[in-house]
Amino acid sequence: MANVVASITDEYDVNWNQKLGTGISGPVRVATKRSTGENFAIKVVLDRPKARQEVQMHWMCSGHPQVVSLFEVFRNELQFPGESESQCRLLLVLELMDGGELFYRISKQHGFTERHAAATTMQIALAVRHLHSMNIAHRDLKPENLLYKNSSEESPIKLCDFGFAKHDNGDLMTPQFTPYYVSPQVLEAQRRHRRDRTSVATSTPYTYDKSCDMWSLGVIIYILLCGYPPFYSEHPTSRRAIDRSMRRKIMSGTYQFADREWGRVSNRAKDVVKKLLCVDPHERMTIEELVQHPWLTEEAPDTLLQSPVYMSNKANMQETALLHDGHLKKMRIPDRPTNLKPIESAINPILCKRKEISRQGGIHFTAHEAPIVDHPSAKSLRDVIAKCMYPKREIDNPQAEVETAIQVAVKENSENKVLTQILEENSWNGDKFDTDVELMDLAHQFKTILESLSTTKLYMYAKE
């Protein structure tokens, strides 16, 4: 399948400085084919068994109208800036999708209706049906992996990124997921996986199947109709992290149809969501049942939805990330005093929740306009954030550098429950992570730990 002889630069002009985005396993760049002048997307991944499996899965699924096409694969030695030597990489030549991600595109629409949501769902469902007909589970259905071909209103939506895709032979065990869209069965697989790492496995290995895709599709449809996810954390740490409250909601299938957003949504649409967000995978709607459901086969109501308004926060993510980056740079300065607003004027969900609980318990709060000095162990946490954000360029494995910093932070924060929870969610084994982690996300999570230290100190200071 891969062209191991030719160099991709013999046939394509690749813009190595322009990144369209980054998938599970590697960045995506733009290239122009010299013979035709046509533009393509080039995904670059290290040549490893996992990457070869991704190529195989994508190659099998390519060719369907709702799947991003994979045209050819090169196997070349490449050396990028900051690397000490060249490495063997696979370069996937993909159909260029420059119409934007699903939710970003919808956030920009005026007049998005339930009929539009149904039409959008049908396109996604056809892609999933194509995969499931070949007994392939995608395992990472989410809006970032659903792209528009171009900016026209008639542009098709296509499924991409097969980094987690695998044949469903009844042996799916690996807990691969994105939190908002993960099914109860995959979370259970994660729980068993952690348990078996620390004890001798005595029972039959726990497995799940491609019905996990149907749950994820149910979450996407829910968001299409109202603009926010059905399951979310009451105390969010990161978009990749799941706390106990969120896990409990997913495992029990606890969500709501709030009247404000769902009052005008049709019963047929709600029926689809209910049958997809079914905890029991044997009772969950299959892809064939979905594409034959009346909500998709008959004309859906032309009711205006509020979802684009809520999705606009996703569209402003770049601005938010830049602001967040500024905050992280400030955290790198050791022993920096933190000035907090008075409790009664601070708009902070954690403080508001604690304030309400305290009121119920008869505890009185008073405002104090006083600076709160740093917690003694804050510096080690800031060091972790700094190494996540600004790893040394000459280091081949930035994650190892971060892991060393975390070992120090753990010693100085051994009783911090937020830190323990975050490390557990990222598969920390006491010395290092068992899997690759997103360092930017980890930095965001450690920022939450710093905030929890400040919040705790403020709480103790204000309680009389």
161 band by pLDDT with thresholds 50, 70 and 90: very high
The CA distance from 11 to 32, in Å, is: 9
- The Cβ of residue 277 has, within 10 Å, a number of other Cβ atoms equal to 24
In Å, what is the CA distance from 249 to each residue of 186, 220, 243, 254? 14, 17, 10, 5
418 band by pLDDT with thresholds 50, 70 and 90: confident
Task: Report the interhelical angle of 317-331 vs 439-462 (nearest 10°).
Answer: 70
pLDDT of residue 155: 95
**Alpha-carbon radius of gyration of the chain:** 24
> Apex CA 326: angle with CA 325 and CA 327, to 5°?
90
| Of residues 179, 194, 184, the one with CA closest to residue 277 | 184
pLDDT of residue 203: 62
User: Residue 371 burial (CB < 10 Å; 0-12/13-18/19+)?
Assistant: exposed
pLDDT tens-digit series, residues 368-390: 333 333 566 788 888 898 888 77
In Å, what is the CA distance from 292 to each residue of 138, 286, 287, 380? 21, 10, 9, 56
Instruction: Read off the pLDDT of each residue in 149-176 and give the average, rounded to a whole number.
Output: 87
User: Of the ranges 149-153, 212-216, 267-271, 377-381, which one carries the lowest mean pLDDT score?
Assistant: 377-381
Q: State the virtual CA torsion across 51, 57, 62, 65 in degrees, nearest 10.
A: -120
User: Of the ranges 204-218, 297-311, 417-431, which one carries the lowest mean pLDDT score?
Assistant: 417-431
| DSSP of 280-347 | STTTSPPHHHHHTSHHHHSPPP--B-SHHHHHHHHHTHHHHHHHHHHHHHHHTSTT--B----TTT--
The CA distance from 264 to 261, in Å, is: 7
Instruction: Read off the pLDDT of each residue in 257-268 and give the average, rounded to a whole number.
Output: 93
User: Residue 252 burial (CB < 10 Å; 0-12/13-18/19+)?
Assistant: exposed
366 band by pLDDT with thresholds 50, 70 and 90: very low
Instruction: Read off the pLDDT of each residue in 289-303 and give the average, rounded to a whole number.
Output: 97
Structure tokens belonging to residue 410: 């753990």
Write b or e for each residue in 332-365: b if 16 or more Cβ atoms lie within 10 A of its Cβ, otherwise e.
eeeeeebebeebeeeeeebbeebbeeeeeeeeeb
Q: Which residue has the higher pLDDT, 393 or 264?
A: 264
Q: Are 389 and 379 in contact (CB under 8 A)?
A: no
Q: Which residues contact 77 (CB under 8 A, 6 or more apart)?
A: 86, 87, 88, 89
Its pTM stands at 0.67
Sign of CA dihedral 132, 136, 142, 144: negative
Instruction: Read off the pLDDT of each residue in 173-194 and give the average, rounded to a whole number.
Output: 79
Instruction: Read off the pLDDT of each residue in 31-59 and give the average, rounded to a whole number.
Output: 94
Decide if 140 is catalytic: yes
341 band by pLDDT with thresholds 50, 70 and 90: very low
User: Residue 320 burial (CB < 10 Å; 0-12/13-18/19+)?
Assistant: exposed
Q: Are 290 and 276 in contact (CB under 8 A)?
A: yes
Residue 164 has what DSSP assignment? T
Does position 217 have pLDDT exceeding 80, yes or no? yes
Q: List the catalytic residue out of 10, 140, 271, 396.
A: 140
| Of residues 336, 303, 361, the one with CA closest to residue 118 | 303
Coil, helix or strand at residue 128: helix
Instruction: Read off the pLDDT of each residue in 182-192 and give the average, rounded to a whole number.
Output: 84
The CA distance from 232 to 347, in Å, is: 20
Report the mean per-residue pLDDT for the chain: 79
Highest average pLDDT, of 178-182, 236-240, 282-286, 377-381, comes from: 282-286
Share of the chain above pLDDT 90, in %: 43
Q: Are 336 and 330 in contact (CB under 8 A)?
A: yes
User: Of the ranges 37-51, 178-192, 205-219, 301-315, which one carries the lowest mean pLDDT score?
Assistant: 301-315
Tell me how far apart the terminal alpha carbons of the chain are, to the nearest angstrom. 70
75 band by pLDDT with thresholds 50, 70 and 90: very high
| DSSP of 184-230 | HHHHHHHHHHHHHHHS---SPPP-B-THHHHHHHHHHHHHHHHSS-S
β-strand partners of 33: 12
The CA distance from 191 to 445, in Å, is: 21
pLDDT of residue 200: 59
The CA distance from 238 to 230, in Å, is: 16
Q: Are 103 and 193 in contact (CB under 8 A)?
A: no
Task: Report the interhelical angle of 211-226 vs 267-276 (nearest 10°).
Answer: 150
The CA distance from 6 to 26, in Å, is: 21
pLDDT tens-digit series, residues 326-336: 433 333 333 33
| DSSP of 75-96 | EEEE--TT-SS-EEEEEEEEE-
The CA distance from 293 to 285, in Å, is: 10
Does position 72 have pLDDT exceeding 90, yes or no? yes
Highest average pLDDT, of 128-132, 151-155, 198-202, comes from: 128-132
Instruction: Tell me how far the alpha carbon of residue 40 is from its chain's centroid.
Output: 25
User: Of the ranges 71-75, 144-148, 353-357, 396-400, which one carries the lowest mean pLDDT score?
Assistant: 353-357
The CA distance from 381 to 454, in Å, is: 13
The CA distance from 22 to 375, in Å, is: 36
